[in-house]
Amino acid sequence: MRDAGGEGGGGGGGGGGKISKTEKDQSWIPKIIKKRVCTTFVENASSNGALCQCGGSRDAHGSVALGDYFGTAIVNRWDSAQHSSEYPTDAFGEIQFAGASKRHSYFLRLSWDTPPSMVYTLMTAHWGLPSPNLVVSVVGGEGKTKVKTWVREVIRQGLVKASQSTGAWILTAGLREGVGRCVGEAVRDHATAASSVSLNKVVALGIASWGLVHNREQLVNPQGSFPAKYYISNAAGDSCCLDNNYQAFLLVDDGSVVNKGGETGFRAKLEDYISHQRTGIWGSGSIDIPVLCMLVSGDASMLERVDLSLKNSMPWLVLAGSGGMADFLSDVLENLSSVPVVQSSSEVDGEVAPSVDLKDRMAERVKKYFPLETETDKLVERALSIYQNKDFITIYHGEQEGPNDFDTVLLKALVRASKQRASVDASPYNEELNLAVTWNRVDIAKSELFNGDILWRYRDLEDSMTDALVNDKPQFVRLFTENGLNILDYLTYGRLESLYRSVADGTLLYQLLQRRLVERLGTAGPTYSPSSVQESPSKVAADGMQNGPATDISLFEVSGVLELLLGDVCQPFYFDALDLHMITSKRRALRRVSKLLRGDCFYRDRRCLYPWASLFIWAVLQNRSEMATLFWEMAGESVLSALSGCKILRELSKLEVETETKLSMKELAQRFENLAHDVFGSCYRSNESRSFTLLIRKSPVWGGTTCLQMGMGADARLFFSHDGVQSLLSQIWWGDMKRNTEVWKHILTFFCPFLCYTNLISFRSEEEQQQEQEGKPSEDGPGRDSDSLEADAQMPTTPRTATIRGVPQPRRPPKRPFIVSRWRQFWFAPVTSFLGNVLMYFLFLLLFAYVLLVDFKPPPPSGPAVTEYVLYFWVFTIVCEEIRETFFVGTKTLRQRFRVYIQDVWNKCDLTAITLFIIGLICRMFEWSYGFGRDVLCVDYMVFTLRLIHIFAIHKQLGPKIIIVGKMMKDVFFFLFFLVIWLMAYGVANQALIYAYDPHLDRIFRRVFYRPYLHIFGQIPVEEMDVGKDWDMPCTDNVTLINDGAEPCRTLYSNWLVVILLVIYLLVTNILLINLLIAMFSSTFSEVQAHSDVYWKFQRYNLIVQYHSRPSLAPPFIILSHINLFIKRVIRKVPSVKIHHFVLQLRGKAANRLTTWETIQKEDFLTAQSKIQKSSDSERLKRMSAKVDGVLKHLSESRDFDHRLRALESEMEYCSSALSWIVDTLAQSSTFKPPRAPPTLRDSFPSSSST
């Protein structure tokens, strides 16, 4: 038969006009996907030559099909392979069901011999159908017959619900009849009830015969339909309409329009192909995709379908009681199971011949269930072949068992079949575990596999662990680690690289890794590995298929991504594994890594040094909330790990472009900050001294950083607002002085230093300092553990070990005299350095102002004055301090130090002030630039004065106000943007209306911008703008005079418009825009004021770090400290005591004790949180619901037992009656004389009728 290609009303998309992206992506389909057209007219004897056996009329066949009279004369039966030919398909694209659904479905007309690999790749790569974790092919139940009620419930409550929890594909005919319609309705109902963000969604796929689809001509369009409008109507005969609840349709074409079963062969091949594909992302799962065929009723023709699938080891689930073929198979498998299969010496086609008795029994049942079939011998042979593969068939009595736990039934059916295919050395439970992992059913795994009865080996869990990690199944990861999987043996560097290679493309992490890979390879684009697509007759399909992730990702790319996100907070990751820890040059590192990766890469076989932390980073980079939380719980250094996760996520959110993903990253980052805050709070309540050590401990896991440094990098304001953090900062700020010292006492002592030896300022006693260093004995036993902690921290092997004040103590220093120690206690405290800098800075500003206003002499030789030279020297000492702070503080490289320095806003302000001062100084030394130099110095004075704002950030009331001012400046910029637009619009129009001609740019600029700006503040020159007022300014209309600079006269006739514009301008600016600015200021003030305490505590840290590392003397006397530092560092080679400010390096037992203590506090915190969660109303409702479900299940089981007991009673009653009849018969018979009388019925066995 020949279809009218191009005739039909395939919906738009195939015609002219703009080509859509979907149409362009699928334009290759007709080149490789074919349809079938009947090319030989084989006469149907019952139609008197009007119809072909394909179902088409004689007129529908072409001249070629009708011309072969000799060929058609000897043909008795039409065959698709011989009597049809392939042509490019003319029906593909998207289908829209008119009046039924707004959602579009995909469809494709294809030949029955199309390679299934091509079709599967088309569905997953181009149609975007998610790869299945399970495929259930529903067979039978087609036609106009009504589906039984309990079968509907099994499909709705059992099959579709189980498929939704596993992420399955359901294959049916996809027509609006029989079981196909029930499946479509069930999928629709579950999709409506399920969440829109559900990860596991059911995909209903219809595979039908093209010739049996009603209104199929609406789908025909050679260029494709995007979409085709399909109208559902009542179908006549054997044809039926497509069901609108399916996501995709494969319309198999064998060239006929009446023959049923044309799609059977292709469907079986597609099922077999899918069963050999791997589950998971990019086929990363541990098993092949399980495929299960479910038989519902069916006719005799289904025997061939079942037999062929069983020979390919395809498991089947038979719904006993659904009628037809399903009842026949359940009867045969259950009632003939006791009959042995006797092997005979003769073999027929390589198969064992069954016994004669089994054949007879099988023939009886075939005649019983299919009395109208004539070819019973073939049916018996098929049935016997099926019987020999009965281990792949599971019988399900849905009417008795009900639809509950149908997913368990599916699992056991697949496990039963897989055990027949499993190798001898494989664990018998591996397949069941793999299926449970694939379906993400941890409840089944716990109840069936990890209940203590099975001893799991490491190799049994290894592949499943990888599957759970790649496909984001944290519950299974926890289950495996709790049941025998050692993470140290599992996670090698090579496996960690494979986990990063499994990252799905399109994600932010994938793009970042690809950029680093391109930098290393030096290529123009990313390198991909070809996808596993079977070769087709044309390479067009292969070009359109989706490629997998890159296979060249190494730890070097991962380290580069982490360096991008974490910045200079910590040292590079994985450099020890790559043997790069001694290399500082990026170019040398690239060369070393390239050489290393071209070799054997022995590092990939080594164990990962910190497995849980590495997995935590891997999960955080992919924004996997549950997985990251699990690894955080498993990893050590919980406070620092949480802050690191917060830092990474906040940096990722800045790079992410999708709004939803950005919000989820910010939420997860806030969650980790809350965890860090809460766990540290638990540590602080347990032991204050140890919690301080925890904050400044140098972490080997996180690149040598500390909690304070990571918290500052992560902008963790909530964490810094904790009382424990602030207590440590206050202790560092005040040094050995007591925190309640008044400021006036401090200032008085600053000017009279000898007062520090009096009782004016209180210092902490040695006992108090020792108690703070050793911890509180009452909270930690006798204090021995804390003592040993500090002792181990001060081993001679760590000469740079520092206490919380940065003083190295490799050994106990000799006790200094009281005069020296008290002097150092006062002057070395950061608060003293701060007050000295503030006071001297005020003196500096006074000197600067005096020079500018009073003593600014002319250029040399007349000047400068002595005071100006003092000012120059003062600024020189400030420059020296900035240089020291930039390049001589910390352990990072010079580039990293400068990058950190320049990131601070106030450091930029210092650079600006110093640069302007140098420019002004140079310019004022020359006569021709003297005035300009003085102007620059005047502006520079303003910059130096604004620097005072940063100094007052330490104040609890002024600090938040500074933040408010900073945020309000952003609001001002937005306001100015709107104001400039409105001001320019009004200014240009106003100038043009008042003055017809005025070529002078200075006047234009003033009247277009400056004068409208003054209007906002009420300075309105009414005489100039209103011609009704007298204006004493002389003016002229002479163009020559105007060009010479004379004032032009005003234009009279358009002055009324000038007044109107002035009114509108003042209305918009003074009322609308000004009030908008006030509202923005109010919002900013309220927002910051509500968290003012948090803001102040956060910004206080930077100031304390700055003055903690500064010398005690302030400029200009700081030059003495610089000379002293130069002598110590360069000449005497004395190491700096503040090179690691706020850093304490622990090793050995001290580090282990601190980590163990922190882990215990984290576990206590998690236990408390778990108790709170369990006591919540929602958890109580969940437990109550589970108990109610259990009670209902027991009630259903009791009803089942009652039903069985009643059936047993009826059987017993029948047996009793039969035995009574036999006894009576024998008693009346004269041929047999019993030796004794028959027994009588006892009263202890009442009849069933009396119950």
pLDDT at 1158: 94
Q: Which residue has the tokens 């002595």?
A: 866
Give the DSSP H or E segment for 199.
none
Region 663-689 average pLDDT: 95
Region 626-653 average pLDDT: 95
pLDDT at 550: 47
Confidence of residue 337 (pLDDT cuts 50, 70, 90): low
What six digits make up the tokens of 692? 């301080």
369: number of CA atoms within 13 Å, CB side? Answer: 25
Region 605-630 average pLDDT: 95
Region 162-176 average pLDDT: 82
Q: If you write DSSP's letter for every residue of 131-186 in order, what string do you get?
A: PPSEEEEEEE--SSSPPPHHHHHIIIIIIIHHHHHHTEEEEE--BSSHHHHHHHHH
Confidence of residue 741 (pLDDT cuts 50, 70, 90): confident
- Do 913 and 940 contact (CB within 8 A), yes or no? yes
Q: Which residue has the tokens 């996907």?
A: 33
Query: What distance in Å separates the CA atoms of residue 785 and residue 598, rounded to the nearest whole number?
Result: 50
**Residue type, position 150, single letter:** W
Instruction: Assess whether pLDDT exceeds 90 at residue 681.
Output: yes
pLDDT at 355: 61
Region 92-115 average pLDDT: 84
SS3 802: strand
- Residue-averaged pLDDT of the chain: 80
SS (H, E, C) 927-984: CCCHHHHHHHHHHHHHHHHHCHHHHHHHCCCHHHHHHHHHHHHHHHHHHHHHHHHHHH
Confidence of residue 664 (pLDDT cuts 50, 70, 90): very high
SS (H, E, C) 70-90: HHHHCCCCCCHHHHEEEEECC
Confidence of residue 950 (pLDDT cuts 50, 70, 90): confident
Task: Give Dmax (Cα) for the chain.
Answer: 161
pLDDT at 281: 60
Query: What distance in Å separates the CA atoms of residue 758 and residue 760, rounded to the nearest whole number?
Result: 5
What six digits make up the tokens of 274? 């899918």
Of the candidate ranges 9-13, 40-44, 58-62, 1088-1092, the one whose mean pLDDT is the lowest: 9-13
Taking only the tens place, the pLDDT of each residue in 1101-1120 is 888 888 888 888 889 999 99
- Do 124 and 292 contact (CB within 8 A), yes or no? no
**Residue type, position 892, single letter:** K
pLDDT at 198: 45
Query: What distance in Å separates the CA atoms of residue 1154 and residue 1162, rounded to the nearest whole number?
Result: 12
pLDDT at 286: 62
What six digits make up the tokens of 355? 């016994």
Q: Which residue has the tokens 């103590």?
A: 809
Instruction: Assess whether pLDDT exceeds 60 at residue 347.
Output: no
What six digits make up the tokens of 806? 């940065």
What six digits make up the tokens of 1229? 């018979």
Instruction: Assess whether pLDDT exceeds 50 at residue 12.
Output: no
Q: Which residue has the higher pLDDT, 189 or 941?
A: 941
**Residue type, position 133, single letter:** N
Taking only the tens place, the pLDDT of each residue in 1170-1184 is 888 877 777 778 778
SS (H, E, C) 1006-1054: HHHHHHHHHHHCCCCCHHHHCCCCCCCCCCECCHHHHHCCCCECCCCCC
Instruction: Write b or e for each residue in 1054-1087: b if 16 or more Cβ atoms lie within 10 A of its Cβ, otherwise e.
Output: ebeebeeebeebbebbeeebeeebeebbeebbee
For the chain, report the end-to-end CA distance as a whole number of angstroms.
Answer: 70
Instruction: Assess whether pLDDT exceeds 90 at residue 676.
Output: yes
Q: How many C-beta neighbours within 10 Å does residue 84 have?
A: 24
Instruction: Assess whether pLDDT exceeds 60 at residue 1194.
Output: yes
Instruction: Assess whether pLDDT exceeds 60 at residue 549.
Output: no
1202: number of CA atoms within 13 Å, CB side? Answer: 6
Confidence of residue 407 (pLDDT cuts 50, 70, 90): confident
pLDDT at 637: 92
Instruction: Write b or e for each residue in 384-422: b if 16 or more Cβ atoms lie within 10 A of its Cβ, otherwise e.
Output: bbbbebbebbbbbebbebbbeebbebbbbbbbbbbeeee
Taking only the tens place, the pLDDT of each residue in 975-990 is 888 889 999 999 999 8
Instruction: Assess whether pLDDT exceeds 70 at residue 14.
Output: no
Give the phi and the psi of residue 284 in degrees, each rounded to 5.
Answer: -90, 5
* Short-list 315, 326, 321, 334, CA closest to 398: 321
**Residue type, position 406, single letter:** F
Of the candidate ranges 210-219, 523-532, 628-637, 1049-1058, the one whose mean pLDDT is the lowest: 523-532
Q: Where are the beta strands (DSSP E) in 44-121?
A: 84-88, 92-97, 104-111
- Do 1017 and 1011 contact (CB within 8 A), yes or no? no
Q: Which residue has the higher pLDDT, 1141 or 487?
A: 487
Sign of CA dihedral 10, 14, 15, 20: positive
Instruction: Assess whether pLDDT exceeds 90 at residue 665.
Output: yes
Angle, helix 830-853 to helix 743-751, in steps of 10 degrees: 70
Instruction: Assess whether pLDDT exceeds 90 at residue 569.
Output: no
Instruction: Assess whether pLDDT exceeds 90 at residue 671.
Output: yes
pLDDT at 7: 38
The sheet that has 316-319: what strands, in order across it? Answer: 225-230, 92-97, 104-111, 248-253, 203-209, 168-172, 134-140, 291-296, 316-319, 393-396
Confidence of residue 487 (pLDDT cuts 50, 70, 90): very high
Of the candidate ranges 205-214, 258-267, 760-769, the one whose mean pLDDT is the lowest: 760-769
- 400 Cβ neighbours under 8 A, 6+ residues apart: 1200, 1203
Instruction: Assess whether pLDDT exceeds 90 at residue 254.
Output: no
Instruction: Assess whether pLDDT exceeds 90 at residue 164.
Output: no
Helix, strand and coil content of the chain, in percent to the nearest 5, comes to 60, 5, 35
Q: How many C-beta neighbours within 10 Å does residue 1188 have?
A: 10
Query: What distance in Å separates the CA atoms of residue 342 and residue 345, rounded to the nearest whole number?
Result: 10
pLDDT at 956: 77
Region 853-868 average pLDDT: 91
Q: Where are the beta strands (DSSP E) in 281-350?
A: 291-296, 316-319, 347-348
Query: What distance in Å separates the CA atoms of residue 1171 and residue 549, rounded to the nearest whole number?
Result: 43
pLDDT at 82: 81
Of the candidate ranges 3-12, 400-409, 851-860, the one whose mean pLDDT is the lowest: 3-12
Taking only the tens place, the pLDDT of each residue in 357-390 is 778 888 888 888 888 777 788 888 888 888 888 8
Query: What distance in Å separates the CA atoms of residue 533 and residue 513, rounded to the nearest whole number?
Result: 25
Helices (H) and strands (E) in the chain, counts: 55, 14
- Do 542 and 536 contact (CB within 8 A), yes or no? yes
pLDDT at 1: 43
To the nearest 10°, report the CA torsion of 923, 927, 928, 933.
30
Region 16-21 average pLDDT: 44
Query: What distance in Å separates the CA atoms of residue 491 and residue 605, rounded to the nearest whole number?
Result: 10
Taking only the tens place, the pLDDT of each residue in 172-203 is 988 888 888 888 888 887 777 665 444 457 78
What six digits make up the tokens of 66? 């009708």
Instruction: Assess whether pLDDT exceeds 50 at residue 3.
Output: no
The residues pairing with 396 across neighbouring beta strands, listed in sequence order, are: 319
Of the candidate ranges 740-749, 865-874, 891-900, the one whose mean pLDDT is the lowest: 891-900
Highest mean pLDDT among 89-93, 603-607, 672-676, 1195-1199: 672-676
Confidence of residue 685 (pLDDT cuts 50, 70, 90): very high
Centroid of chain to Cα 1036:
73
SS3 607: strand
* Short-list 396, 390, 204, CA closest to 315: 390
SS3 363: helix
What six digits make up the tokens of 731? 């202790």
Give the phi and the psi of residue 893 in degrees, each rounded to 5.
Answer: -70, 165
- Do 689 and 775 contact (CB within 8 A), yes or no? yes
Query: What distance in Å separates the CA atoms of residue 143 and residue 349, rounded to the nearest whole number?
Result: 35
Confidence of residue 854 (pLDDT cuts 50, 70, 90): very high
Query: What distance in Å separates the CA atoms of residue 110 and residue 210, rounded to the nearest whole number?
Result: 9
Region 61-73 average pLDDT: 57
Enter the pTM of the model. Answer: 0.75
pLDDT at 633: 94
pLDDT at 611: 95
pLDDT at 1148: 87
Taking only the tens place, the pLDDT of each residue in 382-406 is 888 888 888 888 888 876 666 666 7
Query: What distance in Å separates the CA atoms of residue 1183 and residue 1178, rounded to the nearest whole number?
Result: 9
- Do 332 and 358 contact (CB within 8 A), yes or no? no
Strands 203-209 and 168-172 come out as parallel
Region 953-957 average pLDDT: 77
Query: What distance in Å separates the CA atoms of residue 35 and residue 90, rounded to the nearest whole number?
Result: 8
The pLDDT > 90 percentage for the chain reads: 24
